[in-house]
A and B are shown apart, each in its own frame.
Chain A
Amino acid sequence: MPNLLEFSDAGRRDRALTPTLETPAPSPPAPLPQGERGGTLAPILLFQHVSKWYGPVIGINQVTLELRPGITGLVGHNGSGKSTLLRLAAGQMKPDIGSVKISGCDAWTAEAKRHIGYCPELDTFYEEMSGRRFVQTMARLCGYPRAEALRRTEETLTLVGMNDRAERRLAGYSKGMRQRIKLAQALLHDPELLLLDEPLSGIDPIGRRESIELFRELARRGKCLLISSHELEELEKLTDHVAIMAAGRIAAVGTLTQIRDLLDDHPLSIRIASDQNRVLAALLLDLDDVVGVDRSDGYLLVRAKNPRRFFQRFGELVLDRMIEIQHLETLDESTHDVLGYLLGGKAR
Chain B
Amino acid sequence: MQLLHYRSWQGTFHSSWWAVWPIARVALGTLLRRKLFWTLYSFGLLLFLMFFFGAFLLAWAESQMAVSGPQLGKMGDPGRMMRGIRSALRILNGSQDTFQYFFAYQGGIVVVMLALAGSILIGNDFTFKSLVFYLAKPIGRWHYILGKCLAVAIVVQLMTTLPALVLYGQRAFDDWEYFWHVNYFIDNDTGKGPAGIVLLFGILGYGTMLSVFLSILLVATASWMRRTMPLIMVWMSLFFFLRLLANILVDGLRYNVRWRLLDLWNDLTLLGQGCLGYASDDISPKLHPEFWEAGLVLIGVSVVCLIYLNFRTRGVEIVR
Contacts and interface: CB of A to CB of B under 8 A. Distances in A.
B130 to A, nearest CB: 5
Interface of A: 54, 57, 59, 79, 83-84, 87, 90-94, 110-111, 113-114, 116, 118, 120, 122, 124-126, 128-129, 133, 137-138, 140-145, 148, 152, 155-156, 158-159, 185-187, 190, 210, 213-214, 217-218, 221
A218 B3 CA distance: 8
Interface in B96-145: 128-130, 132-140
B309 to A, nearest CB: 16
Interface residues of B, number: 38
Contacts of B128: 122, 124-125
B135 A91 contact: yes
Given A54-B319, A122-B132, A128 B30 contact: yes
B6 A143 contact: no
B4 A187 contact: yes
A84 B2 CA distance: 33
Contact of B26 (A57, A120, A137): A137
A55 to B, nearest CB: 8
Contacts of B253: none
A143 B13 contact: yes
Contacts of B75: none
Contacts of B314: 93-94
Contacts of A218: 3
Contacts of A133: 29
A92 B132 contact: yes
Contact of A156 (B4, B132, B133, B140): B4
A72 B160 CA distance: 55
Interface stretch (B16-24, B165-173, B202-210, B295-303): B16-24
Given A129-B29, A141-B22, A145-B11, A155 B135 contact: no
Please give me the 9 A-B residue pairs with the lowest Cβ-Cβ distance, nearest first: A143-B13, A118-B136, A141-B137, A110-B138, A140-B22, A124-B128, A113-B138, A159-B4, A190-B6
A84 B318 CA distance: 9
A143 B134 contact: no
A111 B138 contact: yes
Nearest to A83: B317
Interface of B: 1-4, 6, 9, 11, 13-16, 18-19, 22-23, 25-26, 29-30, 33, 128-130, 132-140, 314-319
20 contacts: A83-B317, A87-B132, A90-B132, A92-B316, A92-B317, A93-B315, A93-B316, A110-B16, A113-B136, A114-B138, A120-B133, A122-B128, A124-B128, A125-B130, A129-B30, A141-B19, A141-B134, A190-B6, A214-B3, A217-B1
Contact of A59 (B129, B140, B316, B319): B319
Given A87-B316, A110-B139, A114-B138, A141 B23 contact: yes
Given A92-B132, A155-B4, A185-B133, A141 B319 contact: no
Nearest to B136: A118
Given A87-B317, A93-B314, A214-B3, A145 B14 contact: yes
Nearest to B129: A122
A120 B137 contact: no
Contacts of A57: 319
B319 to A, nearest CB: 5
A137 B132 contact: no
Nearest to B4: A159
Nearest to A197: B132
Contacts of B9: 144, 148
B33 A128 contact: yes
B15 A125 contact: no
Nearest to A188: B137
A124 B130 contact: yes
B318 A54 contact: yes
Given A122-B128, A218-B3, A116 B136 contact: yes
Contacts of B14: 143-145
B1 A214 contact: yes
Nearest to B318: A54
B57 to A, nearest CB: 42
Nearest to B23: A141
B62 to A, nearest CB: 50
A83 B129 CA distance: 14
Interface centre among B14, B16, B26, B137, by most chain A C-beta atoms within 10 angstroms, is: B137
A133 B133 CA distance: 14
Given A129-B29, A143-B138, 6 more contacts: A87-B132, A92-B132, A110-B16, A124-B129, A126-B30, A143-B19
A155 B318 CA distance: 35
Contacts of A148: 9, 11
A53 to B, nearest CB: 10
B139 A141 contact: yes
Contacts of A92: 132, 135-136, 316-317
Nearest to B25: A137
Contacts of A116: 136
B3 A143 contact: no
Nearest to B132: A120
Contacts of B25: 137
